[in-house]
């Protein structure tokens, strides 16, 4: 299973990067890195393109020994003792931040984790998901994104779209703002209720379906006219993105606690963001419409 997952994440990284390079004019910078404690990865990031302000597609394959505090804080492995601290983890993580404020940012992450021998009950699990973060709400885009993810879930007995959708809304929530980071998608962790191959088949389908869930939306919005007000609001929303990732995201916390590669961990942050003091939106505006959905998530599929 380790090798199956490694092969899959590298293949999907190539497929996604090839597709994005057909859309934008800037090439990815590629860094192949090693981790002193064990393993490494391949990071690909572009900045300042015509379509993407910043885009990153990273793969990591790491192993080593966890600190007990880090082991207790992570998802999965709930039946293991503090003696099972050896770990293996691999996954693909991507974040795309378009230039045009009418085109949404998107995030996806799919991963496999083992603790100890990877054989004991609770010693292995899959996790991941994908979510959409628009600055302006286009309901047809939200429905398309969620419907595509639901179709993937419906193909696999191990998946539960309503549960994963709610989990996503709850996870990507910014408590101090009382709003979601975006309009959600799916999120799951500690997935081990079936055998490894069944769980892997679902995760592989999710990862392979990323392009079909997002590129049609990007194509519709990347050339939409916009003004300075739209761009300002995009920068404010990206500030919210930063707040969530640095304060609440478990992946960021785990990477920092395990001496991960800092540039890869913080790849998800936008190239630019803005914090307006006491920023308020106009009543009955498009900006207020988005905020209402972020504070009151709805079903899209």
The residues annotated as belonging to the active site are 107
Of the chain, the end-to-end C-alpha distance in Å amounts to 32
Measured between alpha carbons, how far is 130 from 27 in angstroms, rounded to an integer? 24
CB 242 within 8 A of CB 266: no
| CA atoms of 241 and 254, how far apart (whole Å) | 18
**CA-CA-CA-CA torsion sign (41, 267, 129, 13):** negative
- Residue linked to tokens 């207790």: 72
Cα dihedral sign, 10-15-20-22: positive
The CB-side HSE value for 168 (13 A sphere, CA atoms) comes to: 28
Contacts of 55 (CB under 8 A, 6+ apart): 20, 24, 28, 45, 46, 49, 94, 95, 96, 97
């Amino acid at each position: 299973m380790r090798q199956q997952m490694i092969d899959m994440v590298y293949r999907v990284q190539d497929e996604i990067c090839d597709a994005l390079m057909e859309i934008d004019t800037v090439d990815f910078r590629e860094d192949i890195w090693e981790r002193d404690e064990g393993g490494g990865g391949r990071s690909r990031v572009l900045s300042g393109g015509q379509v993407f302000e910043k885009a990153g597609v990273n793969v990591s394959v790491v192993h080593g020994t966890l600190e007990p505090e880090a082991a207790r804080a992570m998802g999965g492995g709930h039946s293991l003792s503090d003696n099972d601290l050896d770990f293996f983890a691999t996954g693909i993580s991507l974040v795309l931040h378009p230039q045009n404020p009418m085109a949404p940012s998107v995030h996806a992450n799919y991963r496999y984790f083992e603790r100890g021998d990877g054989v004991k009950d609770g010693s292995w699990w899959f996790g991941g998901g994908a979510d959409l973060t628009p600055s302006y709400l286009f309901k047809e885009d939200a429905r398309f994104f969620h419907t595509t993810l639901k179709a993937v879930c419906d193909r696999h007995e191990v998946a539960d779209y309503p549960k994963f959708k709610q989990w996503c809304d709850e996870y990507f929530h910014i408590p101090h703002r009382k709003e979601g980071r975006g309009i959600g998608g799916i999120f799951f962790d500690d997935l081990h209720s079936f055998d490894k191959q069944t769980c892997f088949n679902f995760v592989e389908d999710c990862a392979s379906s990323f392009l079909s869930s997002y590129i049609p939306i990007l194509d519709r919005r990347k050339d939409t006219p916009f003004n300075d007000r739209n761009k300002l609001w995009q920068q404010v929303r990206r500030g919210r993105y930063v707040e969530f990732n640095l304060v609440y995201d478990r992946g960021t916390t785990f990477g920092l606690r395990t001496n991960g590669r800092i540039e890869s961990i913080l790849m998800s942050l936008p190239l630019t963001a803005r914090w307006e003091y006491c920023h308020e939106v106009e009543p009955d505006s498009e900006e207020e419409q988005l905020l209402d959905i972020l504070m009151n998530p709805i079903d899209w599929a």
